Structure 1
């Protein structure tokens, strides 16, 4: 009967108090320190204790006052202690509005309790920051109750009751797992950062962009991530650590003992473990720890909170088994400094950290370029991965921070930070572990501010052999034969980022194995370091160009010369002369296909007869996204694409494939790229046509009759072999090249 009476009293108290009256409104977010416990949690607390009409209660860490109000309905007197002055003032007002005048709200250190007003029949602790409890037990009456939270399995909160038995004897009992903090995303409403409608929008965006709700809230509300995470850390009673502080104590071996997919999905990183506990860094304070607990049975799990930027920096450093991203001084070749250290100027530390995090993200995702763009109040960060631009949604950058970030990029690239009206180009270097990156930076003024593109060029990446380039066998065989020629010009052409340099360096690797020939290169920059190859870098700043290098190279007695790029008439002329004097010359050119390369050289004023006599072959290429081998399945071909590729009839038995998406490819279905090659080898008939300066249309028709292996042929071979999806064809082939080409199609 007594138990039923207590339940009725509790139900009455909960019904009497308006919970919404204690939720901080959106405009009061500046005073938010802790939210209020959910109603279910309050019911669980009340079931674990007994409060009589004459009871005196001490509530420590009272927050905005909701639980205090419920206790005040049940007890004779309640003393509430809250550390934050704004919250204490808010709770006084809210309690008075509920007609509760038996409550005294103090602003002070809850860990000290209220010894001057002791003893109490019940002490309820809502703040996780109180670790020392023995002095508080002295403020209890005999058989008085003390309710608080301990950390249980998998870092979950456990409601615990202590009873004062007298003579320093304390009885302990457990009353189930509990959530003092509102479950899920509702905490952001109760912290005053968003309204319920904005929370709904943030959830929708997070679902679309595959990000955390907290990141979308920061973006929607223009909230500094540090401020938001400090509020979360205070709410959950967790330390907020920087990347520097985490990396200083991290044990990299722990990172390797857990599933990478699990860690990435839950946004957690184990830091270190000892005999009693394991410490885990997390972006989401609600991240589940069940798998961590299974790996460390019996150990207490301690959480620490990190911001999204710091999380990505730590994750990127661990993925490469290094202490982080390091700068490299190209001019002095001095030892690189650790950019995770705290030696950077304090005023720019956050922006420097942000810039380094972007670089680490780009390296981790195998990106070739970073795009920084501003559109009004919105800042967009994108990476080009496998030829496709992808948004980085976990960064929130305000317009003011964006301006500072641009200055950091300019300073690193030795550009003029005061110049915002003209385009600027510069370069710097960075080192991640043992890999050096040459960073080419281009700053472009625009309507809403400067846009920046940073190209990442690995300086000492592992070389790719001709066999691994993805060329069809007959093209690879022809390429090897070209390299054995005594003299002549070989061009690899295509747009920026199409893998031209990789193809040339695969050939150089083969030449390096031939000790009877001397090979010299001039590059900008030197992307691959190759043994037994004499490599030189152009220095336009001191007047040393490609053409200057070519003129000096012929006196070095080489057999093979590689010119990084033919950009102008002078370089083209020197390449032809070097070929005429008995050297194999390899170079790249920016144009669309193999036949266009001839017209491009005509545009550079190369004499038709010279070009006809020296040009051996042209390799034109694009890069197509490769199907992920881990999730490749047969695909139903798109009828619109099939109609373009096979306008007459679909070949019998035609099959194509796609990737359905898996953890290995981050759900994209593709991983890496493969070359789609067009190959044109010049014969006597083609040479005569070039010497006559034949129009490009007629030249292509003649090339088709002379055995031109087109990009369409190469792409379809890759589709049939299951290397690339059929959907890649419209992306890499112009519309007029999708169908089979005929000689008459290109006649003038």
Structure 2
């Protein structure tokens, strides 16, 4: 090395002195910083090939937040740094000023023109892929000056390339090895500015201890959901984030079958399809190395797409199943009558392919927040649907033949401990499944139909966080009344509605509040126990040993409880025991399947509850439905549907009536809605209503009396949600019967 040039040790000393974490730390979470902070190894690689005089003049293009510029300023006489993103440039100036660095001229601009007035330069370092025309910049090099950039070769590798000005308009090009621009391990989270190295080390330990993914532990620390974290990662490393549905539409299962599954699982990558001259590969980390994949397809460039771990598992299950199907000869369709269909799985264990289909279905359902899976067969057509936010949606990427469907039903039955030989009678069963840390209880119902058995699998999360009363979406008045009901010394409180209307969620929100009150004892009897709550004594019915709701209620009173929850009142015996428990000084919470608050009274009459007993013990009834919640990310005010307005306001609608809808965005998968909110009818009993119940007056009169006594109707609650922008106006005809859309008349009967 010549004495009048900077040696490698000087570069290393400067790199060691500049704190890279100072530039990685980012208080603006939406700011793209990841690729603007190159690794120390990359900077060292680039400088190691340089031969520079003391105090060189340096130009850097694509300076980002200034880390590379700070290193260059450590040995450069004068550094010109150019960055086109004004926000990044502002952050860079702030961070450089914090380190007291003054020999950097930081400019905002495209960089294609360079800085001719400040040259000639001994070194031009290009840190951005947006500059592909180099000729104008070469003209700004001093004789012997070096121009260093990153280029991609035919095999899609990133290569460090040097162009050297030899004078007389001659440029010499040399390549200096491959580099990976994104970390291939968990260091990527430090690069994103999401965690410090110390916090990453802590997350690694917890992930090893709990057998979880590091991304899950980081999400807990930073209160980020997985999807938001991966969107940030995709933005900052310039790799598109894709969903399972998008990728499966163009995926080629035969590509998956060309690789060892052990290799792909270790790599956390899935080859998807060939598009032109590119091989599309899905991976869970932006820095996943592609060298081995490239060896299989040397003539193609690799195009990475990012997927979340959940979507990765869904892709794996679906493509694994399809790859195996492709290696199995197509079965002949059975043209015999449906009653003569022979199930090939009757005499042997289920095919591994059908197990893979079942597991892929569960992963799809969990990832899409589905409450139910519906499997149906019509002649030779199989239909697979998920119920998401109360609405059934078809899964088109499951192409299942009739014979495969019979095998799939047997897999479901075996997992739910049912009799696979019985196909004439309905069957019920249960199973459990774990996805990562999340555990789910599956309630399975198999129903014989014209063309075969139909299956419904209800999915109940076991360890999801419980919803509080405040987050149920109740009005402040109803929420306050609910809390007051739980503090009563005795009485019966009912939450009513059809199946899937959120009754159990509302009751469990109350139980969570009771669990925090150490002065009272709470016991529940449920079928099944849907949510596990600490400090609550929970029991489930066991019909196989003749232990039902009524049996539990009789034994509970000897346990000295203050509050008793009965999962459902479904027969006279249970209703009688609930009334007796409230009469002996207990708060009793329960559910009924009926349509509205007044209908709950008639339902209890139908169960032979004495009118006087019901009138004395019933405190309140909450009837509810679930309406789709408007996505907060794409909500906007829209013109209300005139037909619905005419039903709601037969005379004239309010002058300033507002309605909102969702436009559809990434967060809601283009639906405009995300999640659901409870719409509640609230009936609080007073003396007049108790008299009406004890006299068993007609239900129409009782409702009119309830309206005069302050009944909060479901229409009132729904309109409040519409005006507040919680639900779209189009939800009202779905949750309200036609006769309840218009304002209801108050009491007009004669008292004799």
TM-score (norm 2): 0.59
Number of the residue aligned with 1:709: 712
Gaps of 5+ in 2: 1-152, 159-244, 272-279, 307-311, 324-347
CA distance in 2, matches of 1:733, 1:662: 28
Matched, 1:489 2:492: yes
Q: Secondary structure at the match of 1:453?
A: strand
Give the C-alpha shift of residue 277 in structure 1. 2.6
Give the C-alpha shift of residue 287 in structure 1. 12
Number of the residue aligned with 2:266: 249
Matched, 1:628 2:631: yes
Taking a change above 3 Å as real, the CA distance of residues 290 and 275 of structure 1, as seen in their structure-2 partners, is closer
1:450 to 439, 449, 453: 453
Taking a change above 3 Å as real, the CA distance of residues 646 and 567 of structure 1, as seen in their structure-2 partners, is same
What per-residue deviation string (whole Å, max 9, x for no partner) do you get for residues 549-592 of structure 1? 00000000010001111111000000000000000000011000
Give the C-alpha shift of residue 268 in structure 1. 2.7
Gaps of 5+ in 1: 1-149, 156-208, 216-227, 256-265, 294-302, 315-344
Q: Secondary structure at the match of 1:626?
A: strand
1:571 to 569, 574, 581: 574
Number of the residue aligned with 1:392: 395
Number of the residue aligned with 2:282: 268
Matched, 1:309 2:318: yes
Tell me, yes or no, if the aligned pair for 2:681 and 2:713 is still in contact at 8 Å: yes
Matched, 1:535 2:538: yes
Taking a change above 3 Å as real, the CA distance of residues 279 and 152 of structure 1, as seen in their structure-2 partners, is closer
Matched, 1:722 2:722: no
Number of the residue aligned with 2:666: 663
Residues 225-304 of structure 1: pairs in structure 2 closer than 5 A: 229-230=253-254, 233=255, 239-241=257-259, 245=262, 248-251=265-268, 268-270=282-284, 277=291, 290=303
Give the C-alpha shift of residue 697 in structure 1. 0.9
Give the C-alpha shift of residue 650 in structure 1. 1.1
Number of the residue aligned with 2:470: 467
Taking a change above 3 Å as real, the CA distance of residues 746 and 635 of structure 1, as seen in their structure-2 partners, is farther
Matched, 1:507 2:510: yes
Matched, 1:556 2:553: no
CA distance in 1, matches of 2:550, 2:584: 16
CA distance in 2, matches of 1:480, 1:393: 45
RMSD (Å), alpha carbons: 3.3
Taking a change above 3 Å as real, the CA distance of residues 272 and 239 of structure 1, as seen in their structure-2 partners, is farther
CA distance in 2, matches of 1:309, 1:745: 63
CA distance in 2, matches of 1:607, 1:287: 79
CA distance in 1, matches of 2:509, 2:632: 24
Number of the residue aligned with 1:677: 680
Q: Secondary structure at the match of 1:153?
A: coil
Give the C-alpha shift of residue 599 in structure 1. 0.3
Number of the residue aligned with 1:50: none
Tell me, yes or no, if the aligned pair for 2:317 and 2:356 is still in contact at 8 Å: no
CA distance in 1, matches of 2:449, 2:570: 27
Tell me, yes or no, if the aligned pair for 1:465 and 1:509 is still in contact at 8 Å: yes
Give the C-alpha shift of residue 438 in structure 1. 1.4
Tell me, yes or no, if the aligned pair for 2:626 and 2:676 is still in contact at 8 Å: yes
CA distance in 2, matches of 1:408, 1:361: 17
Number of the residue aligned with 2:613: 610
Give the C-alpha shift of residue 745 in structure 1. 8.4
CA distance in 1, matches of 2:300, 2:742: 52
Taking a change above 3 Å as real, the CA distance of residues 212 and 349 of structure 1, as seen in their structure-2 partners, is closer
Count of residue pairs the alignment pairs up = 473
What per-residue deviation string (whole Å, max 9, x for no partner) do you get for residues 119-166 of structure 1? xxxxxxxxxxxxxxxxxxxxxxxxxxxxxxx953389xxxxxxxxxxx
Matched, 1:646 2:649: yes
Tell me, yes or no, if the aligned pair for 1:382 and 1:390 is still in contact at 8 Å: yes
Residues 136-215 of structure 1: pairs in structure 2 closer than 5 A: 152-153=155-156
Q: Secondary structure at the match of 1:479?
A: helix
CA distance in 1, matches of 2:357, 2:735: 34
CA distance in 2, matches of 1:693, 1:718: 34
Matched, 1:437 2:455: no
Give the C-alpha shift of residue 513 in structure 1. 1.1
CA distance in 2, matches of 1:506, 1:614: 22
CA distance in 2, matches of 1:376, 1:731: 31
Taking a change above 3 Å as real, the CA distance of residues 400 and 476 of structure 1, as seen in their structure-2 partners, is same
Tell me, yes or no, if the aligned pair for 1:211 and 1:393 is still in contact at 8 Å: no
Number of the residue aligned with 1:739: 742
CA distance in 1, matches of 2:422, 2:743: 51
TM-score (norm 1): 0.59
Taking a change above 3 Å as real, the CA distance of residues 726 and 745 of structure 1, as seen in their structure-2 partners, is farther
Residues 31-430 of structure 1: pairs in structure 2 closer than 5 A: 152-153=155-156, 229-230=253-254, 233=255, 239-241=257-259, 245=262, 248-251=265-268, 268-270=282-284, 277=291, 290=303, 309-310=318-319, 348-430=351-433
